[in-house]
Amino acid sequence: MEVDTKVDLDLDYLRDFENKVIIRGYQEGMIPAESVWIPSRIGSLARTKFGRAIKTRFIFPGSLVIEYYGLKKKSLHFMSEAVDCAGSVGMIVDMVKFSNITEKHIKTLAPSMLSEFPDFKAALIKLRYESNGSKRVLLKEF
């Protein structure tokens, strides 16, 4: 039996999901964020198939980080602040965890995105765990 290793990740959906659900939910105080110290350097997950697929930066007018199963995707503003603070090895910044997104958040913020979310989340998880050579797939029931 062959194992399907191809993962179709809809990058348009990812970008829209970040803007309509994660960023908007964060700005409106619906999605919790924690203040954490984040290094300004690129982490090792960024160099994997997973990091290349979901990218490591996003557009946001402030410093914010979105954590996708270990990969910390940083706002461009965070990166420009890190460069401005020459010699800075990191900063304390708000971080939203993708795993904290619930069906309620999506229904409230972007109901049209709800039907595709389970497949999108499964593709992200599959890509994440195959990126480091593991064949295990950890699916949390949505």
Question: Do residues 49 and 56 lie in contact, with contact meaning Cβ atoms separated by under 8 Å?
Answer: no
- The pLDDT value recorded for residue 79 is 77
Residue 1 has pLDDT above 70, yes or no: no
Encoding tokens for residue 28? 């409106």
Q: How many domains, in total, are found in the chain?
A: 1
In a domain, 142, yes or no: no
3-state SS assignment for residue 99: helix
18-43 pLDDT per residue, tens: 999 999 999 999 999 999 998 887 77
In a domain, 31, yes or no: yes
3-state SS assignment for residue 108: helix
The whole domain housing 29 covers 11-131
Residue 113 has pLDDT above 80, yes or no: yes
Question: Do residues 78 and 94 lie in contact, with contact meaning Cβ atoms separated by under 8 Å?
Answer: no
In a domain, 124, yes or no: yes
Encoding tokens for residue 110? 């972007």
Distance CA 26, CA 55 (A): 20
In a domain, 1, yes or no: no
**Beta strand 71-75 with 64-68: parallel, antiparallel or unpaired?**
antiparallel
In a domain, 62, yes or no: yes
Q: What is the pTM of this model?
A: 0.82
In a domain, 108, yes or no: yes
> Would you call 28 exposed, middle or buried from its count of C-beta atoms within 10 A (0-12, 13-18, 19+)?
exposed
Residue type, 108: T
43-99 pLDDT per residue, tens: 777 888 888 888 888 999 999 999 998 889 999 888 777 766 655 678 889 999 999
